[in-house]
Structure 1
Amino acid sequence: MGVSLSACGGGGGGGGSPATPFTSISDLPETGTVEAQGIATTATIRLNPNTGDFAMSNISGTEASTLRLRRENGEVVGLVLTAPESSAAIDVRDGGDITRSGAVVFFDSDARLEDAILVLETGQAFEHQTLGVWLSSPELNIGTIGAGAYGAQTPAAGIPRNQTATYAGESLGRAVDADGLLYLTTSGIEIRTDFQTTSLSSTGTIGFEDGSGALNDLPEFDFSGGGPVTGSGFTAVVSGPATLGVADGRFHGPNAEEVGGTYSLTGANGVSHIGAFGAN
């Protein structure tokens, strides 16, 4: 899904009704609002109207973030994503357009000033988490982007001991390359852990180019790395052919059945990449 910063018009809202805490995908209410806590990374995105080049700046560290979903008769009809430096609110009551393709839900405001993509279930059958990316552009040619992972975090007592685990999943992100092109990215994720240290790899990155929608292989945005587990999460230093940065993860489910998190990486010549991942 491409997102244009040069759109104009009004944006969506909603999500003000009382919410129940998220427990699992299976327990989402048929009708009602649910709220999930998680982490996100955000950035400012600018479009140079003279050259058509994008630039990403003000990339945040890992921040607390909240997802609110409104459902009616089993279908998502509203979304609010909030983080300290960025937010998006899209609701059919405010003219928002919400469509579903398999496990992926696409959100567009009535004038495309706010867009989001949310993975509610996947081929990996996530049960304890969801992940997504968003863009909000309240001003011409400038906006914010975010990527977040949300779920029922594993309590400390539920973290396995003296065991190993391998998780497989996927990522969603936004990237700007050295030519100033903006992409919506996705990749395969593998995470290995003995719950003392964790290794993470993101491979097979592909990107949908903003504007044209062209699909490109982007191996320069693959990355890998590792780091220690602390409590029910981990922080990993990660790097790839063109980038260096950090990934933060949280285990989800009663006994760490799933893992999700965010990443942010930068490189030379304005290369930048932020995103969220989920695996089980």
Structure 2
Amino acid sequence: MRFSKRPALALVPIAVLLSACMGGGGGDVTQNGSPSRPPSVAFEGHGHRQYHDYVLANGQAVTATFEIDPGSGAVTLTEINDRHGSQMYLTGEGGTSYGTEIVAQNSGFDFDVRETGHTVRASGHYAIWHMEEENVLAVFVVPDMADVNYMSYGTWMAGYGTNSGSVGTGVYGVKTDPALMADAASATYTGLSTGIARRADGSPNIAQSQITLSTSDFENISIASTNTVVENLSLETPVLERAAELDFSGTGTISGADFSANITAATSSGTLDGSFYGPLVREAGGTFQLSGPDVEYIGSFGATGTVTRLP
């Protein structure tokens, strides 16, 4: 059994989706480039809408390799690479954005809407990028839809439609300067997650959930992922299905602009690592991974909130 390969239909104008997903950037050149990458400028937020030709957003990712049993169709995630540094390169020309490249450990992709077989379609708060010849499927948030300005996050599968490859999930953006958090007293953030999950029946699934983060002192933090739904990618016509066993919660600590937590679900447990983004501390995002006897689940998330300040 192989992952289904549904044709992507552009439900909204491609230029609109690309500009919304990839945002803009500004600032000084941050690297010298290479034979394959020109000099880049640092990502400063989607709201700038200054579409430089090459923009770099730093972040973090979790990746893994996968194999499908041709007989049973069961997927196995192996060589899971815990949270590590990752980069998102945004490309454009003359004010029009057209590409995204993700660089992560043993995984990644290079999407360019000008390439034959590279298509994009809208699905709720997400844009779905399909690279047919490269067998890559990516699901990334549309920042305008999710009300995030200083970050982006998403999930991808390299080897889509085949029996082996890699999967990854990551978050990228402008982390909050800890000095801007000195008078932050409390906050609650709500948002969404996207990820890849192996369920107990062995099926490979794209997952999404609602995320809530709260802190009463910016020293401790609690996290809850609820109402998780999945699409089984091995089905010819996938449908959304509730996956309560993937709901998770946990508590952790905040250090500067970063936070980490231990998380548990019904039959799995793991870790979540995130950061606050933007100068107003109104955005939070990160990655997570859970593992259990019958479950492997990696994902990324983004959320927004209002911070109460000390008098």
TM-score by length of 1: 0.89
The answer as to whether partners of 2:3 and 2:161 remain within 8 angstroms in 1 is no
d(CA) in 1 for partners of 2:107 and 2:300?
A: 15
Distance in 2 between residues matched to 1:25 and 1:52, nearest whole Å: 40
Amino acid at match of 1:4: F
Partner of residue 220, structure 1: 245
Matched, 1:16 2:41: no
Q: Bigger shift: 243-252 or 119-128? A: 119-128
Letter in 2 for 1:207: V
Q: Any residues of structure 2 matched to 1:20-99 within 5 Å, and which?
A: 20-30=41-51, 32-72=53-93, 76-99=97-120
- Which amino acid in structure 2 is aligned with residue 278 of structure 1? G
Residue in 2 that maps onto 1:176: 198
Structure 1 residues 171, 138: closer, same or farther in 2, change over 3 A?
closer
How far did residue 29 of structure 1 move?
Answer: 3.2
Q: Matches of 1:247 and 1:86 in 2, distance apart?
A: 20
Matches within 5 A, 1:139-178: 140-161=162-183, 163-178=185-200
2:261 counterpart of 1:236: yes
Contact 1:164 1:195 in 2 (8 A): yes
Does residue 226 of structure 2 align to residue 203 of structure 1?
yes
Amino acid at match of 2:68: L
Structure 1, 104-113 or 36-45: larger mean CA deviation: 104-113
Give 1:109's match in structure 2, choosing from 131, 139, 154: 131
Deviations 1:160-195 (A, max 9, x none): 445000000000000001110111000000000121
Of residues 240-249 and 155-164 in structure 1, the stretch that sits farther from structure 2 once superposed is 155-164
RMSD of aligned Cα (Å): 2.4
Alpha-carbon separation, structure 2, partners of 1:75 and 1:274: 32
- The 10-residue stretch of structure 1 (69-78 or 109-118) with the greater mean CA deviation from structure 2: 69-78
What is the aligned length? 271
Separation (CA, whole Å) in 2 of partners of 1:140 and 1:189: 31
Residue 141 of structure 2: aligned partner: 119
Change in Cα spacing, 1:161 to 1:208, as seen in structure 2 (3 Å) is same
Separation in 1, partners of 2:135, 2:37: 20
Q: CA deviation at 1:211?
A: 3.0
Unpaired segments ≥5 residues, structure 1: 8-13
Separation in 1, partners of 2:162, 2:126 = 28
Provide the C-alpha distance between the structure 1 equivalents of 2:5 and 2:51, rounded to a whole number of angstroms. 36
| Matched letter for residue 53 of structure 2 | G
CA shift for structure 1 position 71 = 3.1
**C-alpha contact (below 8 Å) 2:203/2:234 kept by paired residues:** no
Query: In 1, distance between residues paired with 2:91 and 2:145?
Result: 23
Cα displacement (A) at 1:95: 2.1
The answer as to whether partners of 2:41 and 2:52 remain within 8 angstroms in 1 is: no
C-alpha distance in structure 2 between counterparts of 1:15 and 1:48, whole Å: 36
2:293 is the alignment partner of 1:268: yes
Distance verdict in 2 for CA 1:201–1:103, change over 3 Å: closer
**TM-score, structure 2 normalization:** 0.80
Q: Give, as a single letter, the amino acid of the residue that structure 1 aligns with 2:102.
A: L
Unpaired runs of 5+ residues, structure 2, are 7-34, 305-311
Deviations 1:7-32 (A, max 9, x none): 9xxxxxx9834322111111243462
In the alignment, is the contact (CA less than 8 A) between 2:81 and 2:105 conserved in 1? no
Query: For 1:185, which of 192, 207, 214 is the aligned residue?
Result: 207
What is the Cα deviation at residue 111 of structure 1?
A: 2.1
